[in-house]
């Protein structure tokens, strides 16, 4: 059923791809973002891709009154909450910023939601809630022992949502634990375009490939993994976006609080990722092995069975498609 959906953080990387998928499924979308890590220039691009204008409100999620006004004036039925700070390393240096934005922000949004009796809420959580693996692959029952303020902010919001769901049986809440989102829309018009030096590996590789950066630093080759470099479960951002559509459909028939891993179930090492990118971009990525990055975990990947069973969702795009779409986007940017 078509719904009117508020997407917080909607001009950001994952929010914008999700907006495309949901708009093309016939939902009415409203984007809400303070533009702290994105630009409203994306609105024209989204219109070009979807063929229709997408309403946008510039605002902070901590401005509860503005959120309430937005929910009322657009008659919103459901919220997908992407807005927040997401740099793991920065969260260690500025924990209060992360708690203020990610936790206070979520509380403000939920207060606004309650005033309008909106029941459907999807939260962008993260695989970082699990912390050091006690076993692999991570399933949703794995204990959550997040290691950084960023990861703890996600874990706390998940717990707030669980308490809220216990207090009100009408609520329908999904916490989607993303593994490592990469890649871009097939048009090459939207993708991940971080401000400043990328923290994440895929945009860094793409900037090396295009010649904006000299070389990639590989953070450690002495991990107990197949080739010594870190292993992650990379997921194409369009698969991830489609996971939100599946979650929305699931919540139509299910109340309560639910957590789902959104990942492919397969881990790739840093060197495997570099080689896949080289193949797709037909280039060589110069790299240098340096020491480990503080706080990195050697290896983790998802068990995606719960999402397959209950959401009817699984990833469709492989590592090569993640690299080729990133490359198409990077070439159009430059």
- The reply on whether position 18 binds ligand NAD by CB under 6 A is no
In the complex, minimum distance from the CB of residue 47 to ligand UFG, in angstroms, rounded to a whole number: 28
Q: Dihedral angle at the C-alpha atoms of 333, 178, 296, 214, nearest 10 degrees?
A: -10
Which helix (H) or strand (E) segment is 321 a member of?
helix 319-333
Shortest reach from residue 261's CB to ligand UFG, in Å? 10
Q: At what angle do helices 149-167 and 105-115 cross, to 10 degrees?
A: 20
Residue 186 near ligand UFG by CB under 6 A:
no
Q: Which of 308, 299, 300 is nearest to 260 (CA)?
A: 308
Give the interface segment with ligand NAD, choosing from 156-164, 173-181, 214-222, 275-283 (CB under 6 A). Answer: 173-181
Distance CA 5, CA 234 (A): 27
Binding-site size, ligand UFG (CB under 6 A): 21
Burial 179-190 (b: 16+ CB within 10 A, else e): bbbbbbbeebbb
Of the candidate residues 101, 120, 302, 326, the single one contacting ligand NAD (CB under 6 A)? 101
Using rule CB under 6 A, residue 97 touches ligand UFG:
no
Q: Which does 60 bind (CB under 5 to 8 A by kind): ligand UFG, ligand NAD, none?
A: ligand NAD
Q: If binding is defined by CB under 6 A, does position 230 make contact with ligand NAD?
A: no
Distance CA(204)–CA(213), nearest Å, equals 8
Size of the site for ligand NAD (CB under 6 A): 27
Q: Taking a C-beta distance cutoff of 8 angstroms, is the pair 150, 97 a contact?
A: no
Taking CB under 6 A as the criterion, which residues in 212-241 touch ligand UFG? 216-219, 230, 232
**Is 144 a residue that touches ligand UFG (CB under 6 A)?**
no
Please tell me whether residue 128 binds ligand UFG under the rule CB under 6 A.
yes
13 contacts ligand NAD (rule: CB under 6 A): yes
Of residues 10 and 220, the one with the C-beta less far from ligand NAD: 10
What is d(CA 256, CA 269) in angstroms, rounded to the nearest whole number? 36
Cis peptide upstream of residue 137 (ω within 30 degrees of 0): yes
Figure out which of the listed residues 119, 124, 303, 325 binds ligand NAD, where binding follows CB under 6 A.
124
Considering the complex, state which of residue 88 and residue 184 has its C-beta at the smaller distance from ligand UFG: 88
Is residue 98 within 8 A of residue 149, CB to CB? The reply is: yes
Minimum CB separation from ligand NAD for residue 278, in Å?
22
Residue nearest to ligand UFG (CB): 230
- CB contact burial 39-57 (16+ within 10 A = b; e otherwise): eeebbeebeebbeeebebb
Alpha helices (H) in 78-231, listed in sequence order: 88-93, 95-98, 105-115, 149-167, 201-210
241 binds ligand NAD (CB under 6 A): no
Footprint (CB under 6 A) of ligand UFG, residues 40-79: none
Pairing between β-strand 231-232 and β-strand 268-269 as defined by DSSP bridges: antiparallel
Out of 149, 151, 181, 230, the residue judged to bind ligand NAD by CB under 6 A: 181
Active site residues: 150
By the rule CB under 6 A, 185 interacts with ligand UFG: no
By CB under 6 A, is residue 283 in contact with ligand UFG? no
Pairing mode, strands 56-58 and 234-236: unpaired
Query: For residues 208 and 328, is the Cβ–Cβ distance under 8 A?
Result: no
Sites of contact with ligand UFG (CB under 6 A): 86, 88, 126-128, 178-180, 199-201, 204, 216-219, 230, 232, 270, 293, 296
Sites of contact with ligand NAD (CB under 6 A): 8-9, 11-15, 33-38, 60-62, 82-84, 86, 101, 105, 124, 126, 178, 180-181
């Amino acid at each position: 059923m078509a719904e009117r959906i508020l997407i917080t953080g909607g001009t950001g990387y994952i929010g914008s791809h999700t907006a495309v998928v949901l708009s093309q499924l016939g939902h009415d979308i409203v984007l809400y973002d303070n533009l702290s890590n994105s630009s409203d220039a994306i609105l024209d691009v989204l219109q070009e891709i979807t063929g229709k204008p997408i309403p946008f409100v510039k605002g902070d999620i901590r401005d509860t009154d503005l959120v309430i006004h937005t929910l009322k004036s657009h008659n919103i039925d459901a919220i997908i909450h992407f807005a927040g700070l997401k740099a793991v390393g920065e969260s260690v240096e500025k924990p209060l910023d992360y708690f203020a934005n990610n936790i206070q922000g979520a509380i403000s949004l939920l207060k606004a939601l309650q005033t309008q009796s909106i029941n459907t809420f999807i939260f962008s959580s993260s695989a970082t809630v699990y912390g050091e693996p006690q076993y692999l692959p991570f399933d949703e029952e794995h204990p959550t022992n997040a290691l950084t303020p960023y990861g703890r902010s996600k874990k706390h919001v998940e717990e707030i949502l669980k308490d809220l769901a216990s207090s009100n049986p009408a609520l329908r809440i999904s916490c989607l634990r993303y593994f490592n989102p990469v890649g871009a829309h097939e048009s090459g018009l939207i993708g991940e375009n971080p401000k400043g030096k990328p923290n994440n590996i895929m945009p860094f590789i793409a900037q090396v490939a295009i010649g904006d950066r000299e070389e990639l630093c590989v953070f450690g080759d002495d991990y107990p993994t197949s080739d010594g470099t870190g292993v992650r479960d990379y997921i194409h951002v369009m698969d991830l976006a489609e996971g939100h559509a599946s979650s929305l459909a699931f919540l139509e028939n299910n109340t309560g609080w639910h957590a789902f891993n959104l990942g492919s179930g397969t881990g790739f090492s840093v060197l495997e990722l570099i080689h896949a990118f080289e193949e797709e971009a037909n280039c060589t990525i110069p790299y240098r092995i340096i020491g480990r990055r503080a706080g990195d975990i050697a290896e983790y990947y998802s068990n995606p069975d719960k999402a397959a069973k209950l959401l009817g969702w699984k990833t469709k795009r492989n590592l090569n498609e993640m690299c080729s779409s990133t490359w198409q986007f990077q070439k159009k940017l430059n």
